[in-house]
Structure 1
Amino acid sequence: MRTPNALTLGSMLSRALFAPLAFLSLIVGCNSAAKTTATTIPAKPTHTAPAIRSVETFDAVWTTVRDTHFDKTMNGVDWNAVRDELRPYAIAAASQDEARAIQLDMLSRLGQSHFMILPRESAERSPTIESPEEQIAAPTDIAARASTIIIDESQSAAITETTSTTTASSTRGVCGIDIAIVEDEPTVLRVAANLGGAKAGVCAGWTLVSVEGLDAADALRPIRDALALETDMDSQHARSLRMELAGTGQSLLQGNTGQSRTAVFEDATGTEHKVTIAFEDAPYGSTKFGNLPPLPVEVDSRLIELPQTDTKPVRIGVISFNIWMTAASPAIDLAVDTYRSCDGIVLDLRGNPGGLGAMSMGVAGHFLNEPASLGSMIARDTTLEFKASPRKVSTEGKRVRPYAKPLAIIVDGRSASTSEVFAGGLQDLGRARVFGETSAGMALPAVAIELPSGDVLMHAVADFVTSNGTRIEGRGIVPNEVVVPTRAALCNGHDPAIDTAAQWIVQSTLLTRAAKRAKADAGVEAVTAPISLPSAP
């Protein structure tokens, strides 16, 4: 491996965002190259349309990708031919929507994740569009909130019930409902305690029927139809469509702080439940990365105690978070400290689309006794190793040992990018066992730049391989144990992935306890056995 330019790679890593664009496009209202509802490309021109900076922006997108794509062969695509084919349409574009559709068509030819156009209307939600660094807006009492949620969730502040007529802020709120596609339906996978969904009585296993009169099936139909036409369900386009399907279901339950949404769910018996769901500030504030709009940060954790017949209960800490951004770091670190005495820890990364790639090394350090590589980020001319170092100081500044007991990681088809880097890295190292469903297979480091039109281009600048050389893009992280959720289990209060991971931790713990008892018993027998003295002369 050649020695990289430290300054260049350091800058790249600080700006690199690992997050799948088909999913982010739904979170922030932007357009990815995998979108199924793009504006139709205009007819080939016979004249030059009025200037709307379409050509200038088209050229900027084409040139940027040409100069920064990690693969000089452009993934086998004749990039010059793509320009020659589509540039005339850019000349004829009569609106910004038409211009974007052409740019998206161009990006889609690469057949890779992490290429998208973010409309300026979305980017302008934040005044810091020119900054490449992460901007964080988090509560000042984050440690207090973290300890409240982690140690005693019942003490979290109650939200104020609101109606759709309530004055709302411009900040994206949260309701604590996680929607996944289960048995081909948009289904509640998890409901966070003490947020709007839980307050409204929403339960895991319920399917989403409608929101504010918008039928969920109608919203998902175009994507389902596009998926039905796919001949290769492992293709990048099919993966993007599946991610978009899940993201569309989740996007129906979005609102700003102070707003509420009327939603209809159906339980396992077919009974419909009409509820009003309030949105409030994310418990850990919001975070903004470079040219992307602010995203809410959610961290949740809970303790599971499983009684055992002949020994003490097995205690397991479960930690989940929705995005890899530094605003989540204090709560994640505190959760690890809180569960340091537990018999095992489960990191639930389902629905986590990624974020800052560098953060994976910091979190991994909690679980490694010695420095180890999670993999390498390979740019066109340089390579950067993701080297994680042991974390030996707690959030209170005390010396600690990295957590060495069983670690389970749960992923699904919505887990992408940094989540895949983290899970795949620790899986390859043999430090964690992965449960759930194969992840998204979208793991290209990307950066975002402002275009002449005011829109933002996010584009991949590197590939990523795990420490054993496995490429994640287009493959995903394959679990050690595949566990698929069912509505029946969820409605009965069981999460199959959590249950399976917990049983693995129980088995590992009981084996360890038995070995310790056997060793202790052997030591006692050695001490109490008669001592043979030599015979007297």
Structure 2
Amino acid sequence: MTSRLSRTLLAFALTALLTPAAHADAPTGPAASADIRAKDTFDIVWARLQSSGFKGEHEQLDWATLKAEHQPDIENAKDIAALRREINELLQDLRASHLVLIPAEAMPQAGKPFEVGNGELGMRLTIVDGRFLVEQVIDGFPAQRAGIRPGWVVERIGDFDAVSTLTSLSKASPDAARRGSTMLQLHANDLVDAVSPGARIALQLRDLAGETRDLSLTAVANPDIQTVSLPGLPPMPLRFTQRKLSARDGDCVLYVEFNQWAMPVYDRFVAALREHGGCRGVVIDLRGNSGGLMASMSAVGGLFFDKPVSLGTLITSGGDLRLTALPRQVTDDGRDVRRFSGPLAILTDRASVSCSDMFPAGMQALQRARIFGDTSAGMALPAGVAPLPSGDRLMYPMADYVDAKGRRIESIGVIPDAPSAPTAAALRAGRDPALDAALAWIGEAQ
């Protein structure tokens, strides 16, 4: 069984963004037969939006018009599919991130096992020039053993038609296309690295010569993946990897990559610095990182400062809150925490979301890190999750965020200090432009 959040939530959000009417088909699972309580559901959705601290001023929202347009359709929905479709149309019109209707099927059900996949094929995908390309192939995993190489074009993953979906995305509005490309990249990667060991995944690719390759690969367990739970969300897989690389001058560089922010990230980072803190520089790879807990972001940030500093401000209806990087002296078991004062590089791309928008923004504003790669997602509204009478859940923005320089990141993203997005030519040559540029900078840093 694959990760239910991966298959249900991301696919649901992407389909809602591109083709709202696609939800006319009735769903399966617990929500299919439940009393949808459409009027009560609208009341809760609207109340949460009004009290959230998200005022939509930058999006130039007319709340009265939005309510008049959407309330009747939502309250008159006859089944769960229609209710979801109408709510999603309202959420799209708000033109902001972190507005997601989470279907009941994505949550654990009482008495039923809920598995989170810790298996993968060992490949990372990115969107370049309107196509999915293999960006990385991990040594020792099935993708490498099958001969897949960076630069190959991915056309299909199981039932997911990458070509037609990207074609649909190209016809969307600029705002929908931006958010859609983020969710699409996250979804496609989730299809190959959040699955159960032993699962067979059919792939259709084009190799460097343009020849079609139809492959069927079996996922294997990745010991670096563990299951974590975030408030109000289903259990999710957390992958944390580290390795020692070389800078241009031969000095070592600690490379750390993780796919979401959670407190185990801090513990693993502390251990990595304890082992490799003598290296010349550190690279944090946030490409494809979908966000998570701000507390984890504050804790990790504290590893790079000797005193508390503000990573930015959360603007809420009840007042402003500082998002602070908090250095710790010792771990919970009493061991010293080794902080790092050398060059810090952060890698971002279009799928660096939420905390992975905010963290690089804050570190860049403080001039504590240099950012490489592509502009981040620009989906930087801290969010909460509320249960709905229909049985679904609403993820909604609770605040706005500005970095330490007062820059708003939502819908803009973090612009790299050294833009180094992947290109088809670079990937075909086996190069990683963002990582290569980061390592060169660390090697030259004084």
TM-score band by shorter chain is 0.7 to 0.9
Secondary structure in 1 matching 2:88: helix
- Give how far 1:396 is off: 8.0
Alignment of 1:365-380 (within 5 A): 365-380=302-317
Structure number with larger C-alpha Rg? 1
Within the candidate set 251, 270, 291, 2:210 is matched to 270
Alignment of 1:90-101 (within 5 A): 90-101=74-85
Secondary structure in 2 matching 1:106: helix
Find the counterpart in structure 2 of residue 39 from structure 1. Answer: 21
Does residue 1:422 correspond to 2:359, yes or no? yes
Whole-Å separation in 2 of the counterparts to 1:173 and 1:399: 31
- Give how far 1:108 is off: 2.0
Does residue 1:174 correspond to 2:113, yes or no? no
- Give how far 1:76 is off: 3.8
Whole-Å separation in 1 of the counterparts to 2:22 and 2:425: 42
Does residue 1:287 correspond to 2:228, yes or no? yes
Contact 2:277 2:338 (C-alpha < 8 Å) held by counterparts:
no
- Give how far 1:259 is off: 1.1
Alignment of 1:336-375 (within 5 A): 336-375=273-312
Within the candidate set 216, 239, 243, 2:178 is matched to 239
TM-score with structure 2 setting the length: 0.87
Does residue 1:82 correspond to 2:28, yes or no? no
- Aligned residue type for 2:383: A
Whole-Å separation in 1 of the counterparts to 2:39 and 2:326: 47
Consecutive unaligned residues of structure 2, counting only runs of 5 or more, are 25-33
- Give how far 1:27 is off: 5.6
Does residue 1:223 correspond to 2:169, yes or no? yes
Q: CA RMSD in A?
A: 2.9
- Give how far 1:34 is off: 6.1
Within the candidate set 175, 185, 200, 1:260 is matched to 200
Within the candidate set 149, 157, 160, 1:211 is matched to 157
Find the counterpart in structure 1 of residue 327 from structure 2. Answer: 390
Secondary structure in 1 matching 2:225: coil
Number of residue-to-residue matches in the alignment: 430
Residue by residue over 1:31-66, the C-alpha shift from the partner in whole angstroms, topping out at 9 and shown as x without a partner, is 369611222799xxxxxxx97412221222112211
Contact 1:29 1:122 (C-alpha < 8 Å) held by counterparts:
no
Does residue 1:297 correspond to 2:297, yes or no? no
Alignment of 1:341-490 (within 5 A): 341-393=278-330, 397-399=334-336, 401-490=338-427
Secondary structure in 1 matching 2:359: helix
Residue by residue over 1:371-392, the C-alpha shift from the partner in whole angstroms, topping out at 9 and shown as x without a partner, is 2110111111122211213344
Question: CA, structure 1 residues 41+31, in 2 after alignment: closer, same or farther (shift >3 Å)?
Answer: closer
Whole-Å separation in 2 of the counterparts to 1:410 and 1:401: 22
- Give how far 1:107 is off: 1.9
Whole-Å separation in 1 of the counterparts to 2:160 and 2:387: 34
Whole-Å separation in 2 of the counterparts to 1:478 and 1:373: 20
Whole-Å separation in 2 of the counterparts to 1:173 and 1:380: 39
- Give how far 1:488 is off: 2.6
- Give how far 1:481 is off: 0.6
Find the counterpart in structure 1 of residue 103 from structure 2. Answer: 119
Does residue 1:53 correspond to 2:37, yes or no? yes
- Aligned residue type for 1:255: V
Whole-Å separation in 2 of the counterparts to 1:80 and 1:423: 36
Contact 1:211 1:261 (C-alpha < 8 Å) held by counterparts:
yes
Residue by residue over 1:48-88, the C-alpha shift from the partner in whole angstroms, topping out at 9 and shown as x without a partner, is xx974122212221122112233286954232332222222
Does residue 1:69 correspond to 2:8, yes or no? no
- Aligned residue type for 1:445: P
Contact 2:131 2:166 (C-alpha < 8 Å) held by counterparts:
no
- Give how far 1:434 is off: 0.6
Whole-Å separation in 2 of the counterparts to 1:27 and 1:263: 22
Whole-Å separation in 1 of the counterparts to 2:246 and 2:220: 31
Contact 2:361 2:414 (C-alpha < 8 Å) held by counterparts:
yes
Contact 2:311 2:403 (C-alpha < 8 Å) held by counterparts:
yes
Residue by residue over 1:434-484, the C-alpha shift from the partner in whole angstroms, topping out at 9 and shown as x without a partner, is 111111111101111110010001110101111111111121111101012
Give percent identity, aligned residues only: 31
Residue by residue over 1:396-451, the C-alpha shift from the partner in whole angstroms, topping out at 9 and shown as x without a partner, is 85435521111101111111210121111111111111111111111101111110
- Aligned residue type for 1:244: M
Secondary structure in 2 matching 1:289: coil
Question: CA, structure 1 residues 336+54, in 2 after alignment: closer, same or farther (shift >3 Å)?
Answer: same
Whole-Å separation in 1 of the counterparts to 2:23 and 2:208: 44
Contact 1:188 1:207 (C-alpha < 8 Å) held by counterparts:
yes
Contact 1:435 1:483 (C-alpha < 8 Å) held by counterparts:
yes
Question: CA, structure 1 residues 71+88, in 2 after alignment: closer, same or farther (shift >3 Å)?
Answer: closer
Question: CA, structure 1 residues 306+444, in 2 after alignment: closer, same or farther (shift >3 Å)?
Answer: closer
Per mean C-alpha deviation after superposition, the further-off stretch among 317-326 and 384-393 is 384-393
- Give how far 1:504 is off: 0.5
Secondary structure in 2 matching 1:501: helix
Within the candidate set 197, 202, 213, 2:143 is matched to 197
Find the counterpart in structure 1 of residue 188 from structure 2. Answer: 249
- Aligned residue type for 2:358: V
Question: CA, structure 1 residues 280+287, in 2 after alignment: closer, same or farther (shift >3 Å)?
Answer: farther
Whole-Å separation in 1 of the counterparts to 2:22 and 2:218: 37
Secondary structure in 1 matching 2:216: strand
Whole-Å separation in 2 of the counterparts to 1:244 and 1:114: 11
